[in-house]
Amino acid sequence: MQKIICSLIAISFAVLVSAQTKTADYMKKIPALPRDSCNVTKSGAESFVIQVSNLKKQLTSEIDLLNETVDQHMESNAGSAKETAMKQMSQQYGLSQADIEKMKNSKNMTAAEKQALANKMMSQQTNMTVDEAKNLGEMSEAGKKAYAEAYAMEAMATNQTDPNQKANNDAAKSQYNLVTSQQAIHSKLSDIGQKIAALYAPIESDPERQKMLDRMDAWQNKVMSMTGVDYGQGKQMDSLALLIRNEKIAYCNKYTPKYRAALRKHLAILKTSLPDYQSSGNIMAEVTKAQTGIVMPAEGAEIPALQAIDQYLKALQGAYKYKLYFPEDDN
């Protein structure tokens, strides 16, 4: 009995380990934000940036490889996807094999044949021709309402007497629900993206930040204009150098803590939003399967989450971008 329990534990552990995703792996690899904002050596700052950059490079390669795998998978299944799409269209619109063959060679169809096929497809879905649908657009609101009620009753009756039609309608409804879910998750991720962008925008757009940079540039240009010619301006150059150094220190003290705070909030949003990014990948796979019959590689569903991590690493690379002065530069 004990051996059986041990075996079950081992199996469970193996399943748990195999369930570890690339997303979880990269989340664990993200370097922690260093404790100090501006009290850091140049080598310390460079070492951190290199660490983040190397991880980002690895992740970018991973994402590129996954995208390539998905593209190749779609390409290799293009034939079956086309057949699935044609089959779905045949079922949904009541098209015969002859109709399908015509559609495959639509460039050889006459205008009359195209109109007839469009009428057949429209009639199957709405019980009216294309011309009748145009007339519907000119109906009064009362007429449209009456038609909609009559169509709904007819559709219900058809579903009850024709199992195939009901199955087709159910399949169409399922695809509609998937697409609606996809639109909803895309909207949610767009909101998340805007929330993240809003963390950094106030820092970059702060007019005082640009004024500080302009002052430092002006002082530096003045120092450069004095370099190489000694007319007793050494003290003035030293004074300007001190101004530049103090302004760089003030610049770091003002903006680096703000940027670090934005990074912390960004990471918190990323962690709480990972299920949404994963849902986006899962829904995309389901939509692809429903529309083409192609079962996507499971790891492909992780691409949105991995891209979100990549976005954070890009921001993390700039942890010390407002650190312009290092004491060792004076040596």
Per-residue pLDDT of the chain (331 residues; tens, 9 = 90+): 444 444 433 433 333 333 358 999 999 999 999 888 899 999 999 999 999 999 999 999 999 999 998 888 777 766 665 565 555 555 555 555 565 556 555 656 677 765 665 555 555 554 545 455 455 455 555 554 555 555 555 555 555 555 555 445 555 556 677 778 888 999 999 999 999 999 999 999 999 999 999 999 999 999 888 876 666 577 888 899 999 999 999 999 999 999 999 999 999 999 999 999 999 999 888 887 777 777 788 888 999 999 999 999 999 999 999 999 998 877 6
Q: Which pLDDT belongs to residue 99? A: 55
Residue pair 223/245 in contact (Cβ under 8 Å)? The answer is no
**C-alpha closest to that of 70 among 315, 314, 302, 318:** 302
Scored b (16 or more CB within 10 A) or e, 246-255 reads ebbeebbebb
Quote the tokens at residue 252: 């770091």
What is the torsion angle, in degrees rounded to the nearest 10, for the CA atoms of residue 311, residue 316, residue 318 and residue 322? 130
Q: Which pLDDT belongs to residue 55? A: 98
Quote the tokens at residue 230: 């000694």
Please name the residue that has the structure tokens 């770091």: 252
Please name the residue that has the structure tokens 């409804």: 173
Q: Helix 234-292 to helix 163-204 angle, to the nearest 10 degrees?
A: 180
Cα 139 to Cα 133: distance, rounded to the nearest angstrom: 10
Quote the tokens at residue 231: 């007319």
Cα 317 to Cα 266: distance, rounded to the nearest angstrom: 13
Cα 149 to Cα 138: distance, rounded to the nearest angstrom: 17
Furthest-apart CA atoms within the chain: distance in Å: 104
The length of the chain is 331
**C-alpha closest to that of 50 among 317, 260, 321:** 317
Cα 241 to Cα 239: distance, rounded to the nearest angstrom: 5
